[in-house]
Amino acid sequence: AQKVTQAQTEISVVEKEDVTLDCVYETRDTTYYLFWYKQPPSGELVFLIRRNSFDEQNEISGRYSWNFQKSTSSFNFTITASQVVDSAVYFCALSPTGNQFYFGTGTSLTVIP
Amino acid sequence: EAQVTQNPRYLITVTGKKLTVTCSQNMNHEYMSWYRQDPGLGLRQIYYSMNVEVTDKGDVPEGYKVSRKEKRNFPLILESPSPNQTSLYFCASSSLPGPGGYTFGSGTRLTVV
């Protein structure tokens, strides 16, 4: 079975705090893709990152960083020095084939000025 | 501008009245997919298509039809809509398994009364 769990439904932080969004996935496939998407209040879905299962290197992009650990089936997302513009719903997703996608239920992040 | 265009953005209809939500992409992507987003459930895949005339069911295909007669278009058809199909619908396209992720349309908010 394929499954993505985002246990944190809602998180609130004060601006400039760091925040980590958790993502745990389940799959029996040995090759798969992992993704993070952002959905701001305007409603569109914005692609943030894709990771291949064979690439466990962590990634940093500006204030964003991602920690992929196959041993714990986790793909966590950290925002450093959060800003009000980071307020959004964030979705983690799994695709074993590149065709079928499984999304988590999302984490709603509110950054308080 | 590279984009996925969905129409309409908002639609209110009555139970049983056939409707079509259109989706078009201008990126020459082979892969297209439809999702519905419901509170607390995240995004769930309805149908996907890997190329012209190739479609397959996602997680929640019941009550929906799709067609892929041209590479750029992937309409979603509700032959006999019911109130439980009230949802926010997203179309997406991708060059997967090539690099990158999905590009999503702006969404269609459908209400069936």
**B31-48 tens-digit pLDDT:** 999 999 999 899 999 999
Residues within 8 A of A (CB atoms), B 23-52 only:
31, 33, 35, 40-45, 48, 50
Task: Say which of A4, A49, A99 has its CB closest to residue B50.
Answer: A99
- CB contacts of A102 in chain B (<8 Å) are 45, 59
pLDDT on residue B54: 92
d(CA A84, CA A69): 29
d(CA A5, CA A74): 9
- CB contacts of B33 in chain A (<8 Å) are 101
Residue A103 touches partner B, C-beta closer than 8 Å: yes
Residue tagged 């513009």 (tokens): A85
Identify whether the C-beta of residue B33 lies closer than 8 Å to the C-beta of residue B58.
yes
Interface probe for A, chosen from B3, B4, B36, B43 (most Cβ of A below 10 Å), is B43
Residue B59 touches partner A, C-beta closer than 8 Å: yes
Residue tagged 């519905």 (tokens): B36
Q: Residue B35 is encoded by which pair of tokens?
A: 């999702």
Q: What is the arithmetic mean of pLDDT over A48-68?
A: 87
B82 Cα to chain A: minimum distance (Å):
23
Give the best-scoring range by mean pLDDT among A48-57, B28-37, B88-97: B28-37
- Residue A82's CB is within 10 A of a number of other CB atoms, namely 22
Does the distance separating the beta carbons of B42 and A91 come in below 8 Å? yes
Q: What is the pLDDT of residues B23-82, one digit of tens each?
A: 999 999 989 999 999 998 999 999 999 899 999 999 999 999 999 999 999 999 999 999
Residue A38 touches partner B, C-beta closer than 8 Å: no
Does the distance separating the beta carbons of B40 and A35 come in below 8 Å? no
